[in-house]
Structure 1
Amino acid sequence: MSKIRITKEFTFETGHALYGYDGKCKNVHGHSYQLSVTVIGEPITDTSHVKLGMVIDFGDLKKIVKEEIVDPFDHATVFNKNTPHVDLAIELSNRGHKVILSDYQPTSENMVIDFAKKIKSRLTAPIQLHSLKLRETGTAFAEWYAEDN
């Protein structure tokens, strides 16, 4: 049987600030992120299975990514909890804003690593996470590949 890659794309709006950075991104700002999630596996061949011919139901993949990434990150602001930005984060949170305090500097590179861990934890064998592509702008993105990790 052939291995097939299935990709689903997602969009969400997220703000962040890069503490200690020497450019504009040290300021709180946001992006319209585009996330492409690719899984790999073999299509189901059991003729009695309701998902016959699928590697994974796109709806099932959507549910995982929505719960782990899109719902928490959409219209949230991400700050590294190990920086003085934590004071701003607490203030915003106290005023009813959606804030995520991460263990990392919220760059696209670190976010895609975090997203890979979260998605991988929800996939069941034999389906595997193949790759992620997190587009921050129309010309800038970070990619994660299982084969590299």
Structure 2
Amino acid sequence: MSKIRLTKEFRFEMAHALWNYDGLCKHFHGHSYILRVTIIGSPINDPMNPKYGMVMDFGQLKKIVNEEVVDRLDHSVVINQNADHKEFTSIPQMGERVVFTDYQPTCENMIVEMAQRISSRLPDDVLLHSLRLNETANSFAEWFAEDN
């Protein structure tokens, strides 16, 4: 049976600051992220299966990515847990969506975590093929399963 790749695009707004960085990104700033998720698998070949002809229902993929990435990060501030910004969470209302990571929240590191979170939720017969995370209109990181 043929292998088919499916891609779904997601958009979210997120702010971050890079701890101990020597450039402008050490300051809090935000981006309009675009995440492209590509999976690979064979279409279901059972006419009795309600997903007959599909590698995976786009709705199921959307649910996984929203739960693992978008709902968690959209309109949040992401900071390395080593940074001295923990008091930021004590600001009433504004500190509710602060995510502390054990890594520097660069586009490169975030895409690795996204790959782990998404791939762990995919059905057994569907694999995560690649991710592309645009941080700006012309800057992005890519993750490919074949490289990892």
- Following superposition, the deviation at residue 95 of structure 1 comes to 4.6
1:72-111 matches, within 5 Å, as 72-88=72-88, 90-92=89-91, 95-111=94-110
Equivalent residue pairs, number: 148
C-alpha separation in 2, matches of 1:138 and 1:53 = 34
Classify the secondary structure of the residue corresponding to 1:60: helix
1:1-149 matches, within 5 Å, as 1-88=1-88, 90-92=89-91, 95-149=94-148
- Following superposition, the deviation at residue 22 of structure 1 comes to 1.2
Classify the secondary structure of the residue corresponding to 2:59: helix
Percent same amino acid at aligned positions? 57
C-alpha separation in 1, matches of 2:72 and 2:135 = 17
C-alpha separation in 1, matches of 2:92 and 2:27 = 18
Classify the secondary structure of the residue corresponding to 1:97: coil
TM-score, reference length from structure 1: 0.95
C-alpha separation in 1, matches of 2:94 and 2:109 = 27
C-alpha separation in 1, matches of 2:113 and 2:50 = 32
Runs of 4+ more than 2 Å apart: 85-88, 90-97
- Following superposition, the deviation at residue 71 of structure 1 comes to 0.5
Q: Counterpart amino acid of 1:49?
A: N
- Following superposition, the deviation at residue 124 of structure 1 comes to 1.6
- Following superposition, the deviation at residue 91 of structure 1 comes to 3.0
Q: Counterpart amino acid of 2:123?
A: T
C-alpha separation in 2, matches of 1:99 and 1:38 = 28
Q: Can you give the 5+ residue segments of structure 2 that lack an aligned partner in the other structure? A: none
- Following superposition, the deviation at residue 96 of structure 1 comes to 4.2
RMSD across aligned C-alpha pairs, in angstroms?
A: 1.3
Q: Counterpart amino acid of 1:77?
A: V
C-alpha separation in 1, matches of 2:92 and 2:42 = 44
